[in-house]
Structure 1
Amino acid sequence: MWRTLMISLLVAKTSLCWAESGADLSSLADRLKDRWQLQSDSIRWPVGDAHSDHLELSGEQVSAIIYYGADERGHLTLTRKVVWPMLRTLPNDTHASLIHEFPLSVSPEIRIDGEPIASERPQRIEFDGLLSIQSRISDTLTLTRTLSPSTEAPRLVEALTLENRGDKALRIDLSAPDYTVSTPAETGVYGSYRIAAILDRPGRHEIAAGQSITVYLQFVATRNGQQFPFDGAAELQKRRDSVGAIEKKLRLQTPDPVLDRMFDFAKLRASESIFRTKGGLMHGPGGGRYYAAIWANDQAEYANPFFPFLGDNRGNESALNSFRHFAEYMNDEYRPIPSSIIAEGTDYWNGAGDRGDCAMIAYGAGRFALAYGREREARELLPLIDWCLEFSFRKMGEAGVVASDSDELEGRFPAGDINLSTNVLLYGALVSATHLNRELGRERQAEQYRLRARSLRAAIDRYFAATVQGFDTYRYYDGNDRLRAWIALPLTMGIFERKEGTLEALLSPQLWSENGIYTEAGDTTFWDRATLYAFRGIFAAGETDTAMRYFKYYSRKRLLGDHVPYAVEAWPEGNQRHLSAESALYARVVTEGLFGIEPTGFDSFEMAPRLPSGWDSMCLKNIRAFQRDFDLCVERTPKDYKISVADQNGLRQLDWNGSGSIAFDFHSIVKKEG
């Protein structure tokens, strides 16, 4: 009763703050206008005004950022920014991928019965894992451009489908773009690169009334002597097959189609941005800058713990590969592991010093090893986890908290000598390390880590607990007097000592904006990673309906608004790039937030599937974690909830009152009170 009253007062107080500020969530949602429409298997923009946007698509040897839209005259705008991560340039640093932009002018010239087309006016733009732009180029002829990266080759493919909608045959002449560029040999790690735009079937084509033809344009780059056979139709089919395969894995089924579709696209973006480098498969953030390299935050902390749930082989392989690269930098002197391994694994970057990278790596590696569920790989990762934890312990001072030079924002905002993020991630790492060591029979080590975690949790509260701008929450570092987005981190790790004040602060006008959580109160900068951690934290705190209201607003804005269809990196930095690890964080809001899945063993986990008010049921199907393929569903009953877990061995069902969590190990079920 008392808890219910406190929650009601919290919600009422938060709503009052919003009403006073004129920026409450309901008014923001009312003003939110959908530019895109949700279709059965895609999103669609019926072009009716001037607007431009960009999105990124990736394959194993190429990534492309497509800038598209309609100008004030209604004409198509299109630029393909193509990145070849394994064609390295000099100096061979973090950003040394070969990049080339192809404007709309790099297209076949189209003549209709001998006359050049006057304009290309987009009528409909659609995204279903491939980007399609349908334009009117005459009274009777439409042109649909479908853009897709090759799944395996270093090319972007653009299919051009010309459809005759008239009642007479048309004679169409297509001239090849005749576009090639050779880069200077002295600027490339592998010498000169040849960049080309090539049309597969130039020349004259007859299109009967009601019929269409499709030709294929490729934007390709190669080393000297390289050749890649080209079959445009086969390339697009491989991409569609890849998108379909990801969609079938880890399927979210809720009463909200926006959330379901956003989750589908998040899985795609998180899993497509994996590059086949000479250092093995490497998941890369993307964004036109970050390829053929790994980071302790983007890969180890954000993306890798998600891949076992998706069960994508390439994702799991890239995760293991990233941890192996980091492990190469362990040393007896306990010098910091670099923040990033770059240039296909041949070099490193540590320009921001120790960002708490070992806490990030240990946290991600422990959660990955538990969810992946394979003893051999877990034992392989154990030395890296132990080393990273020991490194962190050596940075611990008298206050019982650990120091780091910066945090994952690398000095963009102040972090002091001891920051909340590094310490909370270390706490999460210790919790997972406790479970992992117990699973591997190392009981003594498990108990030591458990005691360390308990001690650190208490120290975090002593050191960081503070009243900041009137809220009983956490200071981010000693001397910090402004609210920071990362105060959400303790909630994601089950640290609820300052839950009420932290929730108030996160959803107050000081931090919440129409684009999510501000990085710091008083500044308009936002990073989606912080917002996504906040959603996970609010769900974990048991405030399901509050979390869902904000999560639904955010998802609708990102999926159907003016910049679609993924979570973004930041603003103003990077112009809201579609970095891939942010999409993994979005997916983890569902797996770890909404469904409350926390790995505790190779075939065990805790769960708290939080069914929002107004929903009768929800499911996660084809979960691939813990060496199984299983479904997890929750449905409302007249009294409480019924949870179902189904795998190849059968169906297990249990009643649940919605309080606390449930320990599940595929052999026995234990209810844990909150």
Structure 2
Amino acid sequence: MINSIRSIAIVFVAHILSPSGFAQSLPASDFWKIAADGGIVWNVSSEQRLAHGDNIEMSGSNVSGIIHYTINKKRQLTLKRDIIFPQLRTYDRTNGVSWQKYRAYLRQTYGSEIEPSIADGQKTIVFEEVDSIGIEGKLIIYHTPVNDIRLTRTLFPSMTERLFVEQWTLTNVGKNSKQLRTGNTTYKTTLDGYKGAYHIHVYSDAGGQIDLAANESYSFGLYFAAAIDNESAEGFNYKKAALERNEFLRSMRQNLVLETGNHVLDRLFYFSKIRAAESIFNSKMGLVHSPGGGNYYLGVWANDQVEYSGPFFPLLGYEKGIVAARNAYRKFLQNIPSASNPIPYSFEIEGDIQSSNKDRGDAAMIAYGTSLYLLRTGDREAAKELWPLVEWSLAYCHSKLNEHGVVRSQTDEMEGRIPTGDANLATSSLYYGGLKYGSVLAKELGYKSLSKQYEQHRRDLEKSIESHFGHHIEGLDTYRYYEGSERLRHWICLPLAMGINTRAEATATALLDKLWTENGILVELNPDKKGQDVFWDRGTLYMFRGLFKAGFLDKSLEKLVSFSQKRLLGDHVPYAVEAYPENDMRHLSAESALYCRIFLEGLLGLEQTGFCSFSITPQLSQHLPKLTLRNLHLGDLIVSIQLELTGDNKVITKIYKGEKLIVNTIGKNHNRVAFLLR
């Protein structure tokens, strides 16, 4: 936990450090600094750029809270708590659009009106001014002392209950004892919903009188709870909820630990594990991972869950995430359509509401994500169960090949926000990835002739992608996004991410020089909309994975540090975002999984070549001479990988299984290293 800047000194990292030439002073846009205890901190007491506000989402299995905090020019706090109970769907009787009706989660926003009062003698203490704010899986707000009493608020979700907690800690920082009185908050309301009578209860468990000696502290909880019918929304304990949250954070700290020597990259990687793994909810489908963001709960999508986060959880070794991913794949398996209809691209409200049958290239997303997930779990029984989903998805894509040998789809995961033609590069690239890993999976399951067929289809598709999408745009021999398109698009990175390097040099130039902004790459380079930047982080995150995988280390690394610094320490922190200007840069959870995959599949070049066989393609430079990845889960086994650059630009690779060294080799930079685990 981050401690007060007045009570315990925080060690700040004053520069963005790499062992290389990337050390640089924090830019003026950075509000936050890295703290030595594992979090980040905003030193409000010395901040000159006020007013400033931000928000952060935190989730547990039955609740999500989006906390909005603003500090005005007097360093006074305004706090808004948007508390969402996703399982409790309400009746929306407005005339809003359809999605507002079925995403009518029980939610309410609370300000200062629900806060308990604190009195010192006859004087009510009002805590407004803030010294600092810290984040590390919790939001911690340190108030300036009033009457020698400091208030520290710690906000976090219960990991198991319909409960969000705001822990208040009062500390006597004076020399004399204090006798305080509290006025307890209680707010109750009941409304009818689809599952019965919903009860909301906001209350605190502060003692009426609090005696504090000098340097003594007293803590109590402010609870935001909900219940159905005869359930109780009372009797919670902030200590129990804190222990559960701390245990979750401990598992994130200990599993899949990245050490690059660059504090920004390492810290954002850790934070990204938190955001990716916390957004898992109880539902009628079982545990499901959902994007969050105030709009997307108790649902699964072919891109966010199947393609982005599902293949990540086995590497993290997070059992709850592995189960949630499997439940997502099962839902799509259960809804394979008849005839030649496209598969629904999402299932929301605990699976009860499915998307329209618009073909976004979802079968390609499913083939790619499901096959990769199954290889990474190493679970043959799960692979046998879900194999029909992979087989159907690949067959569907093959049936949609046009006369040019690329896959037809109505749109892509952007869902028509921008033109895609009738056959786009994203769908064909993802189908290529599905064929690549589907072939490996088929071979592992004993379907040898099918494996060979998929491999032939992959080789044919690679030629078709080159002949149909290969194009000269903006003076570069890169890719057009669809036939007739003459503008660079963010998804030209996808061939690189799938291992197609035919146009790697020009594509890297297009991405890093033409499409690049301080917020990552543009969705489209459009001179008619100059200054109207539209970006979706998922494109940037795939771009970094593809560029590293293709061997473009140094220039990509410089951009990655810059991008990561903005997301971790800038004006909207501490995770990758969905999009801008749409939806105001919400911290959707699957984007954080994509951030972690930059290092695993991009920088490390991790490939699954069978249930027990793997390869990595180590690459280092003077800007990144060492890299360690501890407690990487590969099937049932846990390994640690250490890379180190030698003086003659070779890479020493050491892989440990527990304490046992199983790989110890030295080779050329960006050379493949294969290994088996039994």
Using the size of structure 2 for normalisation, the TM-score is 0.91
Q: Write the letter of the residue equivalent to 1:39.
A: A
| Partner in structure 2 of residue 521 of structure 1 | 525
Change (3 A) 1:98 1:580: same
Q: How far does residue 28 in structure 1 lie from its aligned partner after superposition?
A: 11
Q: SS of the counterpart of 1:277?
A: coil
Identity of aligned residues (%): 40
> 2:582 maps to which residue?
573
Backbone CA RMSD of aligned residues: 1.8
- Judge conservation of contact 1:604–1:626 (CA < 8 Å) in 2: no
Distance 2:399 2:328 in 1: 24
In 2, Cα distance between the equivalents of 1:175 and 1:347?
45
Query: Alpha carbons of 1:518 and 1:300: their partners in 2 closer, same or farther (altered >3 Å)?
Result: same
CA positional deviation for 1:191: 2.8
Distance 2:397 2:453 in 1: 15
Q: Which amino acid aligns with 1:511?
A: L
Give the match for residue 410 of structure 2. Answer: 405
Residues 474 and 615 of structure 1, relative CA distance in 2, 3 Å threshold: closer
Instruction: Specify which of 128, 152, 172 is matched with residue 120 of structure 1.
Output: 128
**Residue 307 of structure 1: aligned partner:** 313
- Where 2:609 maps in the other structure, the secondary structure is strand
Query: Aligned match of 1:258 in 240, 257, 264?
Result: 264
- 1:584-637 C-alpha deviation (Å, 9 max, x unpaired): 000000111111101121111221122232333211110112321111111122
Separation of aligned partners in 1, 2:112 and 2:385 = 50
> Which amino acid in structure 1 is aligned with residue 42 of structure 2?
W
Deviation at 1:342, TM superposition (A): 0.9
Matches within 5 A, 1:319-338: 319-338=325-344
Matched, 1:232 2:238: yes
Distance 2:495 2:507 in 1: 9
Question: What do the CA deviations read for 1:293-342 (whole angstroms, capped 9, x no partner)?
Answer: 00000000000111110000000000111000001111331321111011
Counterpart of 1:617 in structure 2 is 626
Deviation at 1:169, TM superposition (A): 1.9
The CA deviation at 1:344 is 0.7
Contact kept in structure 2, 1:106 and 1:197, CA below 8 Å: yes
CA distance in 1, matches of 2:470, 2:106: 47
SS in 1 for 2:614: strand
* 1:350 positional shift: 2.3
Match of residue 647 from structure 1:
657
Paired position in structure 1 for 2:15: none
Counterpart check, 1:268 vs 2:268: no
| Alignment match of 1:603 (pick from 609, 612, 634) | 612
**Which deviates further from its counterpart, 437-446 or 113-122?**
113-122
* Equivalence for 1:421: 426
Return the match for 1:632 from 641, 644, 656.
641
Match of residue 446 from structure 1: 451
Aligned twin of 1:661? 672
Indicate how the Cα distance of structure 1 residues 102 and 376 shifts in structure 2: closer, same or farther if over 3 A, else same. Answer: same
C-alpha change, 1:357 and 1:130, in structure 2 (3 Å) is same
Residues 1:417 and 1:97: Cα distance change in structure 2 (over 3 Å): same
- Note the 1:284-433 alignment, pairs <5 A: 284-350=290-356, 353-433=358-438
Structure 1 residues 29 and 462, CA, compared in 2 at 3 Å: closer, same or farther? farther
Gaps in structure 2 of 5+ consecutive residues: 1-20, 93-98
Secondary structure of the residue aligned to 2:115 is coil
Structure 1 residue 201 displacement after superposition = 2.3
- CA separation of 1:600 and 1:26: change in aligned 2, threshold 3 A: closer
Map 1:3-152 to 2 at 5 A: 31-40=27-36, 41-47=38-44, 48=47, 49-90=50-91, 95-152=103-160
Q: Which amino acid aligns with 2:471?
A: A
Deviation (angstroms), 1:386: 0.3
Q: TM-score, normalised by structure 1?
A: 0.92
| Counterpart for residue 13 of structure 1 | none
Q: In structure 2, what is the Cα distance between the partners aligned to 1:497 and 1:151?
A: 47
The worse-fitting range, judged by mean Cα deviation, of 570-579 and 199-208 is 199-208
Q: How far apart, CA to CA, are the structure 2 residues paired with 1:651 and 1:659?
A: 20
**C-alpha separation between the residues in 2 aligned to 1:159 and 1:224?**
27
Shift of 1:56: 0.6
| Cα contact 2:22–2:623 (8 A) shared by 1 | no
Instruction: Give 1:202-217 correspondences, 5 Å limit.
Output: 202-217=207-222
CA distance in 2, matches of 1:265, 1:31: 21
- Opposite residue 351 of structure 2, the aligned amino acid is G
Aligned-partner Cα distance in 1 for 2:113–2:138:
21
Offset of residue 34 of structure 1: 2.4
Mapped partners of 1:613, 1:422: distance in 2: 37
- Counterpart contact for 2:89–2:103, Cα < 8 Å: no
Question: Partner of 1:20 in structure 2?
Answer: none
* Superposed CA offset, 1:103-162 (max 9, x none): 122211222212112441111101111111010251411100000100100111010001
**Residue aligning to 2:164:** 156
User: How far did residue 32 of structure 1 move?
Assistant: 4.9
List structure 1 segments (4+ residues) > 3 angstroms apart after TM superposition: 25-33, 90-94
Q: CA deviation at 1:654?
A: 1.1
Please give the secondary structure, in 2, of the residue aligned with 1:192: strand
